[in-house]
Each structure stands twice: as C-alpha cells, then as structure tokens.
C-alpha cells in the first residue's frame, strides 16, 4: 500500500494546506485506488461530509490532473475526517467522520504508517474529537454502561478506589463495553432509523424518486447502521447476550425481553442495508457528482493554478523529491517572487543562493530576498 504514489501534486497541496491552517481544523479524505490510496487535505473546507462520494472525488481529482483518479469507482473505499495541528504538539490530531464502502478507523491506522503519508502529516494521534471538543454524549454512555455492568455484577468488571475519597473506578472488559454500547445505540436510534428509511424507500412510487436531501441523509444513516451491525456480527457479540440455561452469555443479565440482535436477525438486517445502499447509490445521476466536484474544485482552482506554475519551476530547477516538496511548500503565496528569482538567475545560481543565503531553507531564502 502506498499513499499518493505518482500524485505529488496532492502531497504538495496537502502539505501547504496543513501549514496554512495553523491550529485551525481542516477536512481531509483518502480514497482507494487499487491497493493504494490518494490522500488530500483541503485548504478551506472544514466539513468532511463534502468528501463522502467516491465519484465526486473522482471528478475533483481528475480536474486536478491526478491520472490514477480514473480508476476510482462508485464503490471505492473512502474515509474522511478532520485534522488539526498546533505549535508545541508532538502529533497532529485526526478524526474519522466519514466511512464508506468498507473504510474505517483501521484504514487510517494503516495509512499513518506509510512513508508517503508521513511526508504530509508526520506523527498522528487518532482521536474522537479535537482539543476543546468534548463528546459528552459518548462519555455519558460509557459511564452508564460501566455503572450498569457493575450493578448487575457482570463477570470481569473490576471496581477500585478512585483518585479522591468516596470515588470509585470501574474497569470493564473492552469487548463487553463495545457490545453493550452497540446494542444501546440500536435500541435507542438504530432500529427506528432503519424502519424510517425502509418506510421512506418502500413508500415512494418508482415514478417519484426520493429527493436528493432525503437520499443523502438515508445513505449516511444506512452506512452507519451497516458498519456497526457488521462489526457486531463479525465479532460474534450476539453470543454475549445469549440467554441459554446452561451457557448464558456474559451480558445475559443485561439482555432486555425484546432483545432482537440475534444472529438470524443480524443476517437479515445486513442483507437489507446492503440492498438499500446499492439501490440508493445506483439511483444517483452522474451529473450529481459532477456538480458536487465542481463546487469543491472552485475553492482550490487558484491553488491548483499556482501549484502548476510552481511545479513547472521546480522541475526546471531539477530538484530532488525532498527539496521539491520543501520548495513547493515555501513557494505557496510567493509565486511572483519565485518567478522573478528564476528569471534573473540560472538553476546553479538559485541553488547557490539557497545554500549560502537561505542556509538550505527555502522559506529563509524567500524571506531574505523580500528584505533586500
């Protein structure tokens, strides 16, 4: 697996976007191309949901002249999220907010190990929320789960004294916590969402297609339902709720009377969600993706044009890969100065200036020239 193989343009634009963002949050996406991935950080967009459609990304990347983008299909794996860096932090924080066609947090965990990815982002910490963002609902759910499992005396739960007098620390096996968390989500929201989408899809006549807003919302919800239930089924979490007389599951004490995530039900639900997703994706028009990618591309066309000119100059200077990326990053926003520099000096002279005036650093060189 490789990231941005033969797509240096995406790497340079992403490096520049991350640098320009400072400590602000920016959106990123990764889309599968065969065994490899194309990775991009947007300079302006902060909402990763704009990057959820593979064919939107295909059109966008094609217009950015990324040749391998032609292999992207409507079922290509996609993940997207947000990234934030800050001075003094050892690593960038990355979240995963969009997961499509088999992509997930594990995909990002694989990407961060790639050398091409490290050129862009460096060290990464994968988080649920960035600094200053607190997912209170998620924290409350975990606290409720721990308390319930302690009260029901579920096997494997450990209670130890907390940091302060009168406090206690409840530790629960991770597989039990995840299983109960999925079921609570299903019982609270998932089941109702599934029924609502089924009613919406089946209740609309073929000659009256679902409007785009409903279609998009339904697909996002179905992706979440399918992904969570698939993990629940694949890990055999339904066995944890088994109410067998002789071999009850570890969470049998927390099994409600109307528990319905049994193996046969899960199998049927996964078939339904898979069929509904294919139906919704197949109903989309190619023009939908073209319009979306054009809207996204409009925000980066100026950057793309500047990149093209900087790329031409960088190639003319015959820089190696490392120097080329540093040149592209430093040259962002400095195109007039760069053009003036290369019009007055030969390749050898520019490299001599870089060494003796800039100390081998392009940013320093450009700063020194501006101060002259």
Q: Which domain covers residue 51, as residue numbers?
A: 8-132
Tens-place pLDDT, residues 42-69: 888 888 888 888 888 998 888 788 889 9
- How many residues are recorded in the chain? 372
Q: Give the per-residue pLDDT at 293.
A: 54
269 and 219 assigned to the same domain: yes
Is 270 inside a domain boundary? yes
Q: At residue 202, does pLDDT exceed 80?
A: no
Tens-place pLDDT, residues 1-10: 899 988 888 8
Is 158 inside a domain boundary? no
Is 127 inside a domain boundary? yes
- Given a contact cutoff of 8 angstroms between Cβ atoms, the answer to whether 158 and 170 are in contact is yes
Q: Is 92 helix (H, G, I), strand (E, B) or coil?
A: strand
- For 209, the token pair is 């297609």
Q: How many domains does the chain have?
A: 3
- Mean pLDDT in residue range 339-357: 88
Is 3 inside a domain boundary? no
191 and 222 assigned to the same domain: yes
Q: Give the per-residue pLDDT at 9.
A: 81
Confidence at 205, pLDDT banded by 50, 70, 90: very low
E strand segments, the chain: 26-33, 36-41, 78-84, 92-94, 98-100, 124-126, 158-161, 168-171
- Average pLDDT of the residues of the chain: 83
């Amino acid at each position: 697996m490789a990231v941005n193989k033969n797509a240096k343009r995406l790497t340079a634009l992403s490096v520049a976007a991350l640098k320009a963002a400072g400590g602000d949050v920016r959106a990123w996406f990764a889309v599968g191309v065969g065994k490899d991935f194309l990775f991009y950080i947007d300079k302006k967009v902060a909402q990763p949901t704009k990057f959820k459609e593979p064919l939107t990304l295909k059109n966008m990347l094609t217009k950015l002249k990324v040749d391998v983008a032609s292999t992207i299909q409507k079922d290509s794996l996609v993940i997207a999220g947000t990234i934030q860096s800050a001075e003094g932090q050892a690593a960038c924080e990355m979240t995963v907010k969009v997961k499509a066609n088999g992509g997930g947090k594990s995909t990002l965990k694989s990407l961060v190990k790639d050398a091409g990815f490290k050129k862009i982002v460096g060290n990464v910490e994968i988080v649920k929320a960035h600094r200053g963002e607190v997912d209170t609902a998620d924290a409350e759910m975990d606290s409720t789960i721990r308390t319930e499992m302690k009260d029901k005396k579920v096997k494997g739960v450990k209670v130890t004294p907390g940091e302060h007098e009168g406090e206690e620390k409840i530790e629960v096996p991770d597989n039990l916590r995840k299983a109960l968390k999925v079921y609570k989500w299903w019982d609270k929201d998932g089941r109702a969402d599934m029924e609502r989408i089924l009613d919406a899809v089946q209740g609309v006549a073929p000659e009256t297609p679902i409007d785009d807003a409903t279609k998009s919302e339904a697909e996002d919800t179905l992706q979440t339902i399918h992904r969570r239930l698939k993990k629940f089924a694949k890990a055999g979490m339904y066995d944890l709720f088994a109410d067998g007389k002789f071999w009850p599951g570890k969470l049998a004490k927390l099994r409600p009377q109307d528990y319905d995530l049994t193996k046969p039900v899960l199998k049927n639900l996964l078939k339904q969600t898979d069929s509904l997703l294919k139906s919704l994706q197949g109903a989309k028009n190619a023009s939908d993706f073209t319009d979306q990618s054009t809207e996204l591309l409009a925000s980066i066309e100026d950057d793309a044009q500047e990149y093209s000119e900087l790329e031409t100059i960088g190639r003319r200077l015959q820089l190696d890969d490392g120097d080329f990326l540093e040149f592209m990053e430093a040259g962002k926003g400095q195109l007039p100065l760069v053009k003036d520099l290369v019009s007055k000096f030969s390749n050898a002279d520019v490299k001599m200036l870089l060494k003796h005036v800039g100390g081998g650093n392009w940013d320093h060189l450009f700063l020194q020239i501006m101060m002259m």
